[in-house]
Structure 1
């Protein structure tokens, strides 16, 4: 079973300063970015492929233009290695609030060919359940305005209709006109605003009126429409693909609302001739439902393979539940994709799945938040810095007490050195810049402890100290303003818990089993968590 990771611009600073937990350059354009395939080699890369959604590609014009020019394998930024297969889809979660997918079938085939991906996926429309009695109503966000917002829609309507508000594309694909001619006939620049009268009155009368409105789409059974549209796209796209000469493999995406509907869809697309099937729409479903769907589709695929003496590959989109790995494996699924396990490495526990039953946690050291006061930010930075020092000492099998002691001695030197540096250099020409980033970059590179100041005492303090850009020698800032900031840091450092001088801590460190060094940081980590 192959694991594909979604491409969400998850790149890291190639030359990150791990000692001080800081970016290599404050200027984003100057950083070299590494993706997961840049960090590992072919034998050790912990993924089997990359999922690239059109929604993500077109997040910015620059990225879309770049990938259109170079493709995913030759792109100077993404630069996926040629030995790593790629799947590209339309990103159905991104347009789930629209009445139609914003892409046409021929358009998507051309998109996949331009990107030079290994596999392209048919256009699906996420089947959304609705508990509302009268179906679903789609409204163009561009028709709302200051005097009439979504919240002004009367409860009498929103209580019985699932209201979906999103910004519609400037131009719909041609096929949309077959279903809703009204929304194709108005120029986008002439969209009229909604008023209260559009939504008030007898519910059935309002809905009939909105069904003909150019700014709205109303469906009583939207679930069925999305299901059938997904299958219609699969059929049309298959014909276009067979009549073309495309270099990629075509996967069909199916949707449904229960195991029975998924099995029915699987039978239909297999009869069309597809040999690669993707199960969509299960990302947010309960694990017991996913198991039923995957088992049902898996049995359908195996039965088709036996009857036709052929092979059919299968994929599960957005499968994020590690508890279900065994199920999708036994069901014969070829591959799945998820970013949840990677993201959980900095948000939660039990986040590394191995072949054995073992689980490993990632320990997250939090930065101060933007809402923290200066003294709170400094305190959290001191705690986080000490925790990182302890973790790195543990990783290198270095005595924790000695490592923390060395860090503390260094931290005590930072503030007096900063005071001396500011007195001597605050009016240097290098700080005569308008951009804070340029001044801060010069400060951290020239001042001996510029990076340690941020690491131990917070980015907030360093940014506040870098008033240098406003410190005009002709009208200097009173040095007392610098002193006040430094004294705040000194007070926090003085009040900071000194584990090394506590006899209780020393005793606890000494009696711990040397063969289990992780135990040494369990209690300190608990107390140091921000």
Structure 2
């Protein structure tokens, strides 16, 4: 099973000094900052998923790309734009339309011709047909006499998605595009998904992406895959678009899933309240030491005179010093947690959360010391600090690397030979964590 990492222009600054928390004045973001595949000497994923909606932006969701970046991507192509030559093994790039960016529209804002041109100009290896996402899920509609009705606009979205897939495949052949086409199946129930897969196979697709499944719970997703099995041809591969239930991938593989994409390992690093750092068998809570200037709630209290800025900075510095001394073996777990909780009670006095037990486990087991990935080896304890984009994003990269190792242990992916020494990426993270 192949893992595609969705691109959202997540890069890290190799010049960032974690002790002084400063960047190099000579840093050039586009040329100096690193993608995840430029950091690791071993594979961390099999490819990238690049969405037209992310590149172009739509409506209230602006583009993650600057105008210059977008022009460079279209002019030079994705392999050069993402510097794939620096990856530790060959990466594939899949393109899709980013249907969730225009979910509120009656019809997609793009034409099939525009999508094909985008995929072709970017030199993608695979391209997903233009689709319109369905967010309703009513499995009871599959039961005759249930009385559950599916609104006509919902049925129209599936019909339109299949019509666009037919047009996409036809124009792909006529235009002799080199990328592999994937048809999208949208549905509102297990049987409706199976019907869409059957229709796509009849058109000629043997690689089918299952869309609209992000909101589904694991049992619902499983129901759909089981029903699809009744119509799936032996050579048909399935791709799960945006599915984050990575703990069930072994079962999904049995049901015909050949690939998936997920931002969950990256996002959990700084969006989850508990599961921030992946290890082989556990997800640890990162140590929260918010920046005084970077915490909106704390800044409001300081501005209104509710709390002292001087005291906030003193507590912040005390936490950072305690973590540094802990790493040096000069502070105990109990001593560090006491300092951390004093700061937490200061910046979030109304919270009902108590991170103390989770912090104790994280510090007692210190998982970053056992991890061989480049992020943990170079950052050391900084990787476990929930503090600023540079630490948080690197922790997300570590999570991606760990997930990929888990896939390999499950036998869901075949490790590829690393590059020879002359082709390996230059790992510029090694000298970052000073002191």
Partner of 1:469: none
Q: Shift of the alpha carbon at 1:120?
A: 0.6
Preserved CA contact (<8 Å) 1:13 1:32: yes
Equivalents in 2 of 1:342, 1:88: separation in Å? 20
Is the aligned partner of 1:13 residue 2:17?
no
Q: In 1, are the aligned partners of 2:50 and 2:95 still within 8 Å (CA)?
A: yes
Tell whether 2:97 aligns with 1:90: yes
Q: Per the alignment, do residues 385 and 247 of structure 1 end up closer, same or farther by CA in structure 2, a change over 3 Å counting? A: farther
Does 2:49 match 1:51?
A: yes
- Pick closer, same or farther for the CA change 1:31–1:387 going to 2, 3 Å: farther
SS of the residue aligned with 1:55?
A: helix
For 2:386 and 2:311, how far apart are their aligned partners in 1? 11
Inter-CA distance 331–390: structure 2 relative to 1 (3 Å threshold): farther
**CA shift in 2, pair 1:32/1:300, >3 Å:** same
What displacement does 1:237 show?
A: 0.9
CA distance in 2, matches of 1:24, 1:393: 26
Measure the CA separation in 1 of the matches of 2:260 and 2:159. Answer: 24
* Partner residue in 1 for 2:275: 350
C-alpha change, 1:245 and 1:56, in structure 2 (3 Å) is same
Q: Among residues 66, 72, 76, which one is paired with 2:78 in the alignment?
A: 72
Instruction: Work out the CA distance in 2 between the residues paired with 1:66 and 1:30.
Output: 11
Shift of 1:30: 8.9
Q: CA deviation at 1:251?
A: 1.0
**CA apart distance, 1:298:** 4.2
**2:241 aligned residue:** 317
Relative to structure 1, the CA distance from residue 393 to residue 315 in structure 2 (aligned partners, 3 Å threshold; closer, same or farther) is farther
1:100 to 85, 107, 113: 107
The CA distance in 2 between the partners of 1:48 and 1:361, in whole Å, is 27
Matched, 1:388 2:302: no
C-alpha displacement of 1:20: 2.5
- In 1, Cα distance between the equivalents of 2:122 and 2:386? 44
For 2:247 and 2:229, locate their aligned partners in 1 and report how far apart those are by CA, in whole Å.
Answer: 18
Find the aligned partners of 2:386 and 2:237 in 1 and give their Cα distance: 46
Q: CA-to-partner distance for each residue in 1:423-449, whole Å, 9 max, x for gaps?
A: xxxxxxxxxxxxxxxxxxxxxxxxxxx
CA distance in 1 between counterparts of 2:322 and 2:254 reads 43
Q: CA deviation at 1:352?
A: 5.2
Deviation at 1:21, TM superposition (A): 3.1
Q: Give distance in 1, aligned partners of 2:242 and 2:14.
A: 28
The unaligned stretches of length 5 or more in structure 2 are 57-62, 139-149, 347-359, 368-384, 388-435
**1:381–1:225 distance in 2 versus 1, CA, 3 Å:** farther
State the TM-score, normalizing by the size of structure 2.
0.64
Separation in structure 2 between the aligned mates of residue 243 and residue 517 of structure 1, nearest angstrom: 59
1:61 aligns with 2:59: no
Higher relative contact order (CA 8 A, sep 6+): 2
Q: Is the 8 A contact 1:127 1:257 kept in 2?
A: yes
2:190 to 243, 248, 259: 259
- Partner SS for 2:257: coil
SS in 2 for 1:250: strand
Which contiguous aligned blocks of 4+ residues in structure 1 show a shift greater than 6 angstroms?
none
* Per-residue deviation, 1:27: 8.0
Aligned position for 2:225? 294
Q: Which residue does 2:290 correspond to in 1?
A: 366
Question: Aligned equivalents of 1:239 and 1:30: distance in 2?
Answer: 37
Aligned to 2:251: 327
Residues 31 and 372 (structure 1), Cα distance of their counterparts in 2 relative to 1, 3 Å cut: farther
Matched-pair contact (CA < 8 Å) for 2:290–2:316: yes
Deviations 1:442-486 (A, max 9, x none): xxxxxxxxxxxxxxxxxxxxxxxxxxxxxxxxxxxxxxxxxxxxx
Q: Could you tell me how far apart the structure 2 residues matched to 1:516 and 1:272 are?
A: 57
Distance 1:398 1:380 in 2: 26
Give deviations 1:325-377, integer Å, cap 9, x for gaps: 343233231111111221111232235556x5433343343223232416555
Q: 1:516 offset after TM fit, Å? A: 4.7
**For residues 301 and 74 of structure 2, what CA distance do their matches in structure 1 show?**
43
Q: Is 1:283 aligned with 2:214?
A: yes
Mapped partners of 1:239, 1:389: distance in 2? 63
Q: TM-score, normalised by structure 1?
A: 0.54
Note the 1:442-453 alignment, pairs <5 A: none
Q: Which has the larger radius of gyration?
A: 1
Distance 1:106 1:284, change over 3 A: same
**1:117 matches 2:117:** no
What number of residue pairs does the alignment pair up? 316
Deviations 1:111-153 (A, max 9, x none): 101001111110010113399xxxxxxxxxxxxxxxxxxxxxx
In structure 2, relative to structure 1, the CA distance for the partners of 1:333 and 1:30 (3 Å cut) is closer
1:38 aligns with 2:45: no
